[in-house]
Amino acid sequence: MPVRSANPIRARSLIRDNLEKQAGCLNLIHSRMPNIKVFSGTSHPDLAQRIVDRLGIDLGKVVTKKFSNLETCVEIGESVRGEDVYIVQSGSGEINDNLMELLIMINACKIASASRVTAVIPCFPYARQDKKDKANAQSRAPISAKLVANMLSVAGADHIITMDLHASQIQGFFDIPVDNLYAEPAVLKWIKENIPEWKNSIIVSPDAGGAKRVTSIADRLNVEFALIHKERKKANEVASMVLVGDVKDKIAILVDDMADTCGTIVHAADRLVEAGATKVYAILTHGIFSGPAISRINNACFEAVVVTNTIPQDGHMRDCPKIQCIDVSMMFAEAVRRTHNGESVSYLFSNVPY
């Protein structure tokens, strides 16, 4: 109800008292919410630093070391009792060591009475081992992504934040909430800002599994899409490729969730040039670039290979001038902020926070 008084000084005093009461109520609400702590594993400290810079807080103190027999030891350097803890660790580099380090950090925070522990895993490890292959249904192959999900849950994780899972069904491997963010908004922004003739482009998926991803991007850009059907003899080796769609006299933009040895996207780029594409770009969420990947990209016909920084890219960019990097730290920072404040993160599925 508005404050009315014949005396303007008295009115100002009443308004000030009301505002102070409201501020006191807000402070009480904030004091009940556990404070936020963000810790970084050793896999990607640069991304963790960017996240806390965006949030306006300091990175939590943690000491990680290895014993002489290579066992991992983690010591949390500050109190986390009653805190809302976020641990940033990507599935890159020494994947097995980094995964074990993440599990130990989660458990260390949990048994130190953290209120909630969220694992921020920009690139989810073992995501490609999400099912038994159709050709090898009786092969006794493991479903390692489910095993990793179980390990994270048993370690004490209450929530997972990740980006562009290789198969979105991996979310169903968990019995805890999983927020699978999309790089798509950042990719759309990069295309519009860095490819002047993007209206004459065609979005291409290098395999049938990525068809849904490219159709979504093509619809939002209002351009056409194509896909390449590939058959593999064995892992990391492509046997044959068939292009479905017309790329003649167009700029082809290959879009995929990850590139490892880059055999697929290099073969796809050659196939697109043979079919008449004027330029070829590749946009990938997770640039793993293992083995001969860098030399293959250097020798390929790409205008640019664009990746996000879910995996450290500084070394790759030094070795290959074609590689460019999109910073997605603001998306993770905003997801952390919204999760901490109990807000919806669905805004991030179609928008880049500024």
Angle between helix axes 95-111 and 144-155 (nearest 10 degrees) is 30
| Statement to judge: residues 157 and 117 lie in one domain | yes
Put simply, whether the predicted model's pTM sits higher than 0.95 gets the answer: no
| Statement to judge: residues 43 and 92 lie in one domain | yes
pLDDT at 135: 59
| Statement to judge: residues 168 and 200 lie in one domain | no
| Statement to judge: residues 222 and 271 lie in one domain | yes
Task: Answer whether residue 11 is part of any domain.
Answer: no
Q: What percent of the chain has pLDDT over 70?
A: 86
Q: What is the mean pLDDT of residues 184-210?
A: 93
Pick the last residue of a domain from 180, 206, 222. Answer: 180
pLDDT at 140: 82
| Statement to judge: residues 107 and 222 lie in one domain | no
pLDDT at 26: 41
| Statement to judge: residues 187 and 161 lie in one domain | no
| Statement to judge: residues 308 and 262 lie in one domain | yes
| Statement to judge: residues 189 and 309 lie in one domain | yes
| Statement to judge: residues 109 and 214 lie in one domain | no
Q: Give the pLDDT band (50/70/90) at residue 7.
A: low
Whether the per-residue pLDDT at 9 is higher than 90: the answer is no
Report the distance separating Cα 121 and Cα 41, nearest Å: 10
CATH number of the domain bearing residue 302: 3.40.50.2020
- Domain hosting residue 120, numbered range: 34-180
Pick the last residue of a domain from 180, 200, 223. Answer: 180
Task: Report the half-sphere exposure of 245 (CA within 13 A, side-chain side).
Answer: 27
First-to-last alpha carbon distance for the chain, in angstroms, is 36
Task: Answer whether residue 15 is part of any domain.
Answer: no
Task: Answer whether residue 283 is part of any domain.
Answer: yes
Q: What is the mean pLDDT of residues 234-244?
A: 72
pLDDT at 315: 93
Angle between helix axes 211-221 and 184-194 (nearest 10 degrees) is 50
- Torsion region of 201: left, alpha or beta (phi above 0 gives left; psi -120 to 50 gives alpha): beta
Task: Answer whether residue 166 is part of any domain.
Answer: yes
| Statement to judge: residues 81 and 191 lie in one domain | no
| Statement to judge: residues 313 and 201 lie in one domain | yes
How many domains is the chain built from? 2
| Statement to judge: residues 208 and 226 lie in one domain | yes
